[in-house]
Structure 1
Amino acid sequence: MIDPVLHIPKFCLEEKEQVALQGASGSGKTTFLHLLAGVLCADAGEISVDGHLLHLLSESKRDQLRAGKIGYVFQSF
């Protein structure tokens, strides 16, 4: 069995609310951001953005949601 990279029972961020994401290298910060943006799909649980469950959306719909509602600059860009 593989240990999960992240265990976050509940995370809510309201429109225009800001948070800082801090942690040691390898602690899952980038993975968390990729999950929230729909770049990665979660192995368990649900992630909802603007009322859309990300795991139910196609890759192209997740891309559209990211572009229209999230805004995202890839770390390697």
Structure 2
Amino acid sequence: MAKKKQQVANGFVLFDVVYEDGTQTSNRKVPAADLGGLDGDEPARTFIEMQDRKIGEVSGMARGRIKTMVRSKRRVA
């Protein structure tokens, strides 16, 4: 059986993230090299949380905790 292609754009996998406060961000880029293996998509959560901390430090507004995170659906051109 053929493997389903993953959403990979220029070496990145895209994720849609929903936070506990109900806000959502789409197409968050995570390096494809950081994913896979036995941990699956869990390293993406760590990567996005690290990005959120940096953004919060610069903006002075911290992000909430991540509620759910799924790979972005492929767009039809």
Q: Output the TM-score relative to the length of structure 1.
A: 0.25
Structure scoring higher RCO (CA < 8 A, sep ≥ 6) equals 2
Normalising to structure 2: TM-score of the pair?
A: 0.25
Structure of larger gyration radius: 2
Going by fraction, where is strand more abundant, 1 or 2?
2
